[in-house]
Amino acid sequence: MRQKLINGLVGIFVAMLLGAGVMVMQGYQPIETYLALFNYSLGNWYSIATTLRNSVPLVLTGLSASVAFASGPVNLGQPGQLLMGALLATVGGLYLDLPPAMLLPILIFLALLGGALWSGVAALLRYWFNMSEFITTLMLNMIADFFTYWAISYWFFDKAAYSPMTPPINQNGWMPEWGDFNTSVIIMFIAVLVVWFIFTRSLAGYEWRISGQNNLFARLGGVEIDRNYMWVMLLTGALAGLAGGLVVLAGPHRFIKDIGANYAWDGVMIAMVANNGIVATLLYGLFFAILQTGALGMELITAVPSELIMVIQAVIVLVVVAGRGYLEILASKLAERRKMRERAI
Amino acid sequence: MKIAIGLINGMITAATPILLAALGGTLTFYAGIFNIAMEGMMLAGAFFAVIGSYFFNSWLMGILFAVLASLVMAVIFILFSVVLKTDEFVTGIGLNLFALGATTYFLRQIFKVKGAFSGPGIVSVPNIEIPLIKDIPLVGEILSGHNLIVYLTLIITIWVAYLVFKTRFGLRLRAAGYNPTCLDTSGVPADRVRIWSLIICGALCGLAGAYLSLGYVTLFSENMSAGRGWISLAAVILVNGNPWGIALISLLFGFSDGLGLFLQRVLPSQFTSMVPYVATLIALFVYSIRRKETVLS
Amino acid sequence: MNTIIEMQGIVKVFPPNVVALNDVSVDFREGEIHAIVGENGAGKSTLMKILYGMQPANSGRIRYRGQDAIFHDPGEAIANGIGMVHQEIILIPEYTVWQNVVLGVEPVGLFGRIDEKEARRRVQARIQEFNFNLAVDAEVGDISVAARQKVEILKLLYRDVSVLIMDEPTAVLTPQEIPQLFNELRRLRDNGHTILFISHRLDEVMELSDRITVLRRGRKIGTVDTADTSKEQLAQMMVGREVIFSPLRQEQQIGDVVADIQGITYIDAMKRERLKDISIRVRASEIVGVAGVEGNGQFELVNVLMGLLKPTSGEFFVCGERLTHASILDRRKKIAFVSQDRASMGACLSASIMENVLMTHHRLNKRFSKFGGLVLDYAQANRFTEEVRQKLDVQMDSRQAVFRSLSGGNQQKVILGRELSLGAPFILLDQPTRGLDVGSIEYVHQQILRMRAESYALLMLSSDLDELFRISDRIVVLHRGRIVADLITAETSITEVGYFMLEGKPNATKID
């Protein structure tokens, strides 16, 4: 636990140091820049509320990737599943006219369904034809990207708009706001809790975790690998779909082109730094939301391009992951030395 | 007839970057490395090709910069997965993200643009007319007039096939994949062979990137590798690394790309753009059916 | 004779808490066959791996031909004339004999191209020089284990090594193949090679070696001339006490048929017949041993019985229930299974001990779940882990510790505890003592016999004939996927079983 914390903090520190180096090289003030960044994402209630809202897709896609990787399936399809969830929720919001108490749950369900359908395609391809989900989910991402682009350019195109997007959805389907805070955050926390419970407390979660670590052992132990695989794919697809749905319902209230582009690899990235842990995924998801939200402020105030954050994020991934391996080697070296000393006594 | 020639030339053009990256990927595949960083290496290559070409007004410098940038990526990969023993999958994803972030940032920082950069200052890699052959009707149109890198790719394909199956390096390379302990105990550190395979892979992916931004088109746009690295990985897996098989598969993907353009007359462009990715899925499907026939259970 | 290698004060620690070698000093003379004996886990292989540069020592020094020499990798050791043939053969099955031999020192022509003709010629010359019966162009995957071992030796001789370390070379051979190996080793010694021979079989050591060093629990007990010692003395040095070869089995009334394997045939994807018409009946209170050289269908038999492979034909019943095509979960209601590979099949090394103990029980035993089998009952799982710990006397830090942190013997105890408490009538044991130290082996054998006394039916595959003869009631022999003999243990001998293993038939003429 402490090792994980040290590893994470060191990774973040090194990455930000490298980022500072880049800034100095190009004549910016690093401290001022970082202050601007954190001030913009955490400086007041409104900023915090915005950061929290931005964390929703990050945490949910991260959760999707974490649960998938920890259970075995290499589901890299969060971007595609997110888009399909967003599209289905949008379509529901365009055509259904119900009071909020009914419409909201239905739209959230549609978002879950959209993601699950898309990951279900990959799962079935694996189940029927033994096609590795690792490549199929990637290809399905591209296909979902073009498909939704087409859908909003032709099928559900808003005739009043100049660029591809759908008309706004029924107002009853907007996620309510409490002051500055958007309720999509509550849905996110509920999702984290539910997933945590399934993963660590349920019989199925136990089987998923063991299968993810040693598939053959689980199989010989009587675990039904194929059925579990299906459930994991569907659940993780649904989580990514939920992320997409909430982005639409909480934000622009319509499907705009490139709505998911910002989150393309973020889920996978967060799962990796979090080492597929549920709580760690939540924490890193929040932290990356702070960085991404603050990036805009950083650009506005100090003229450092917000794209720098993309570099820093990637460096955090590399440093944290490498550090994890290195710390393990170090721990085993230390144990060896301790034993040598014991022998001498 | 014109359409047919257009399709064939389109096929060759689109196949080239995939083939180059896949040839690099096949070396790491034989060495037993799960290398998924081709996408990022290619992207870094594409961006720095534009840098080299733009600032030195020379396509040769463009290629050199592309290869160097991609080699830097390869060196980071080596540092992480070979030296620090970090998980290869995670390293690959991390590097791809890093390439995407860094090229986007530098695009903004150096050229002050978002999305894409093109300009008259970028010198593209020339096309080559082959004397005599170019005058033969039909054949000349197909064989002559391609980009220099296309011909280079042909030579590299032959070279990689020779390298893997005929040379000392090839014997050791495959041994590193089959049983690294055996190679180690034979007096050749498997890690050294892996490092070389990654370096060559880096160089080839750099060349693939240079082709994207200085051959295929003359510009750089954000994330312009657009999944080609992943398709090349699929190609390697599909034919179990055989270089000639990779050439064939790449041409098939190239063909699907050209077909997509052709289909734009009847279908919305969003659907035609999907064609290469759908083709990859179909190829994987055919592969799995074939494997099912040979392997039970 | 000159001393060629001196190892002084060698210490090796394996984290977290194993001292594999504790201040071991030993010297080897040029041109001798020097046996290093000790029980499993005594540190024999580790000592040799340190000499060979495969593992670094934590302290100590090595002198080779009068000079300090620490090799950092095997390549360096080989270049200096020290080569090692490992217990598990390390070759590339996809390559031919000559490719395996020249790998790393290939003759090359222009542009790094391998000079195949020259390579073949050189390898052929070596084969003739040492009178090995090998074909240069044979693919290593297709030749016998004994031949592969020869390829390993040839590979080292091709590199002109003068010191040859052999790690338990007879473990993979049948009794009939051993004399030939010994003749080859003697011939090499007579040519001036030094041979370091790791073994725990005293008969072999007495027959082959000139001097013997005995290790026990990481310490050197002594070095003796073979001519001046006896098997009994060596045994005592090895174990540290008087060895009593007690009869382990007690006579017992055998019961009804529990497991009934009827004419199982398995043809693999390459259309090769891996199992042919296998029929075995195991009765209650009976241990049936399966002998055979590895690779003669043991793997396939276990996988067919466990449901990982589908048999092409034949039937399999346990207690009258047809399991031929049953799901693994349904099989597990009737079969307890201890696999030979703890890391990949028997346990999940990175999960906690409790999570490992829980496997299979979580599905078959209602007490471990709540709310209709949806939620795990951790309190029950912990209680159960505690029961297993006490019953089998497992040494562990905590129930939540990762499984990897346990020693091999304790890992096997946990696995046995899990499987034997399933209460399944049929127990399938695949090499249950592989890689364990002597104390643990003894313990596992006792547990197996206890299950026999409690009227369970047991089928045990083993490549260790001593083990089979010690505890099984019957021995069936697998040869090329067929059962070639079904013998009552009390009425047969190791030699007879050995013939069946090698030749597939009795009374074969002796080969040399």
Tell me whether residue B117 is in a domain.
Answer: yes
- Checking if the pLDDT of C305 tops 50, the result is yes
**B105: distance to nearest CA of chain A, Å?**
5
B128 vs C467: CA distance, rounded Å:
74
**B231: distance to nearest CA of chain A, Å?**
8
Q: What pLDDT is attached to residue A10? A: 82
C241 vs C230: CA distance, rounded Å:
15
Q: Does C269 touch chain B (CB under 8 A)?
A: yes
- Checking if the pLDDT of A24 tops 50, the result is yes
Cβ–Cβ gap B168/C74 under 8 Å: no
Q: What pLDDT is attached to residue C249? A: 66
The confidence band for B238, taking pLDDT boundaries of 50, 70 and 90, is: confident
More confident residue, B293 or A70: A70
Q: What pLDDT is attached to residue C511? A: 42
**Digit-coded pLDDT (tens) for C123-179:** 999 898 888 888 999 999 888 888 898 899 999 989 889 999 999 888 777 777 888
**Digit-coded pLDDT (tens) for A211-261:** 999 999 999 999 999 999 999 999 999 999 999 999 999 988 899 888 877
Instruction: Determine the residue among B93, B273, B278 to mutate to test chain A binding: the one whose Cβ has the most chain A Cβ atoms within 10 Å.
Output: B93
Tell me whether residue A121 is in a domain.
Answer: yes
Q: What pLDDT is attached to residue C384? A: 92
**Digit-coded pLDDT (tens) for A274-317:** 989 999 999 999 999 999 999 988 888 888 888 888 888 888 88
- Checking if the pLDDT of B285 tops 90, the result is no
Cβ–Cβ gap B291/A138 under 8 Å: no
- Judged on CB neighbours under 10 Å (0-12, 13-18, 19+), A45 is exposed
Q: What pLDDT is attached to residue B293? A: 57
More confident residue, B209 or C441: B209
A291 vs A297: CA distance, rounded Å:
10
C299 vs C275: CA distance, rounded Å:
10
Cβ–Cβ gap B108/A139 under 8 Å: no
**C417: distance to nearest CA of chain A, Å?**
14
ipTM strictly over 0.85? yes
Residue with tokens 């099928």: A155
Q: Fold match between C3-239 and C247-334+424-512?
A: yes
Average pLDDT over residues A135-156: 90
Q: What pLDDT is attached to residue C99? A: 94
Nearest one of B30, B75, B23, B77 to B176, comparing CA atoms: B30
B154 vs C488: CA distance, rounded Å:
68
Quick check: bond before C16 cis, omega within 30? yes
Q: Does B90 touch chain A (CB under 8 A)?
A: yes
Cβ–Cβ gap C16/A335 under 8 Å: yes
**Digit-coded pLDDT (tens) for C306-319:** 999 999 999 999 99
Q: What pLDDT is attached to residue A345? A: 56
Give the number of domains in chain B: 1
Q: Say which CATH class C3-239 falls into.
A: alpha beta
DSSP per-residue codes, C122-186: HHHHHHHHTT----TTSBGGGS-HHHHHHHHHHHHHHTT-SEEEEESGGGGS-TTTHHHHHHHHH
Q: Does B292 touch chain A (CB under 8 A)?
A: yes
Q: Which domain holds residue B137?
A: 16-225
Task: Return the partners of chain B (3 or more C-beta pairs < 8 Å).
Answer: A, C
Q: How many contacts, defined by CB atoms under 8 Å, are there between B and C?
A: 78
Q: Does C358 touch chain A (CB under 8 A)?
A: yes
Cβ–Cβ gap B185/C74 under 8 Å: yes
- Checking if the pLDDT of C510 tops 50, the result is no
| Mean pLDDT for all residues in chain A | 89
Q: Does C106 touch chain B (CB under 8 A)?
A: yes
Give the number of domains in chain A: 1
**Digit-coded pLDDT (tens) for C104-118:** 889 988 888 999 999
Tell me whether residue B242 is in a domain.
Answer: no
- Checking if the pLDDT of A84 tops 80, the result is yes
Cβ–Cβ gap B178/C99 under 8 Å: no
Cβ–Cβ gap B101/A307 under 8 Å: yes
* Beta carbons within 8 Å of C227's beta carbon, 6+ residues apart: none
Average pLDDT over residues C249-276: 86
Question: CA of A74: which chain B residue's CA is closest?
Answer: B89
- Checking if the pLDDT of C29 tops 60, the result is yes
Q: Does C92 touch chain B (CB under 8 A)?
A: yes
Of A150, A272, A326, the CB nearest to B90: A272
Q: What pLDDT is attached to residue C300? A: 92
| Angle at the Cα of C420 from the Cα atoms of C416 and C425, rounded to 5 degrees | 145
Q: What pLDDT is attached to residue A1? A: 64
The beta strand positions in C253-377, using DSSP E, are: 257-267, 273-283, 286-291, 313-318, 321-322, 335-338, 369-370, 375-376
**C323: distance to nearest CA of chain A, Å?**
14
Tell me whether residue B102 is in a domain.
Answer: yes
Cβ–Cβ gap B280/A139 under 8 Å: yes
| Mean pLDDT for all residues in chain C | 87
Tell me whether residue A336 is in a domain.
Answer: no
C480 vs C152: CA distance, rounded Å:
24
The beta strand positions in B118-200, using DSSP E, are: 127-128, 146-147
- Checking if the pLDDT of B297 tops 60, the result is no
| Architecture (CATH level 2) of domain C247-334+424-512 | 3-Layer(aba) Sandwich (3.40)
Q: Are A255 and A240 in contact (CB under 8 A)?
A: no
Q: What pLDDT is attached to residue B50? A: 95
Q: What pLDDT is attached to residue A162? A: 82
Cβ–Cβ gap A325/B102 under 8 Å: no
- Domain map (residue ranges) of chain C: 3-239, 247-334+424-512, 351-423
- Checking if the pLDDT of B199 tops 60, the result is yes
More confident residue, A288 or A339: A288
B:241-280 residues touching chain A, CB 8 A cutoff: 268, 270-271, 273-274, 277-278, 280
Contacts of A202 in chain C (CB under 8 A): 374-376
Single-letter amino acid, residue C472? S
Tell me whether residue B26 is in a domain.
Answer: yes
- Checking if the pLDDT of C188 tops 80, the result is yes
Contacts of B110 in chain A (CB under 8 A): none
**Digit-coded pLDDT (tens) for C326-383:** 999 999 999 999 998 888 899 999 899 999 999 999 988 888 888 877 888 888 999 9
Task: Return the partners of chain C (3 or more C-beta pairs < 8 Å).
Answer: A, B
For the ranges A13-17, A204-208, C361-365, the maximum mean pLDDT occurs at A204-208
Q: Which domain holds residue A233?
A: 55-291
Cβ–Cβ gap C351/A219 under 8 Å: no
Q: Does C346 touch chain A (CB under 8 A)?
A: yes
Tell me whether residue B25 is in a domain.
Answer: yes
C:52-71 residues touching chain A, CB 8 A cutoff: 58-59
The confidence band for B292, taking pLDDT boundaries of 50, 70 and 90, is: low
C:434-463 residues touching chain A, CB 8 A cutoff: none
The confidence band for C248, taking pLDDT boundaries of 50, 70 and 90, is: low
Q: Does C362 touch chain A (CB under 8 A)?
A: yes
Contacts of B292 in chain A (CB under 8 A): 129-130
Neighbours of C111 (CB within 10 A): 11
H helix runs in C327-437, sequence order: 328-332, 353-358, 361-364, 378-392, 408-420
Average pLDDT over residues B110-129: 88
| Mean pLDDT for all residues in chain B | 89
**C314: distance to nearest CA of chain B, Å?**
17
Of A203, A332, A340, the CB nearest to C376: A203
- Checking if the pLDDT of B70 tops 90, the result is yes
Q: Does C246 touch chain A (CB under 8 A)?
A: no
Q: Does A259 touch chain B (CB under 8 A)?
A: no
More confident residue, C361 or B138: C361
H helix runs in A96-173, sequence order: 100-129, 133-150
Q: What pLDDT is attached to residue A15? A: 83
Among the ranges given (C55-64, C121-130, C503-512), the one the predictor scored with the smallest mean pLDDT: C503-512
Q: What pLDDT is attached to residue C98? A: 95
Cβ–Cβ gap C369/A203 under 8 Å: yes
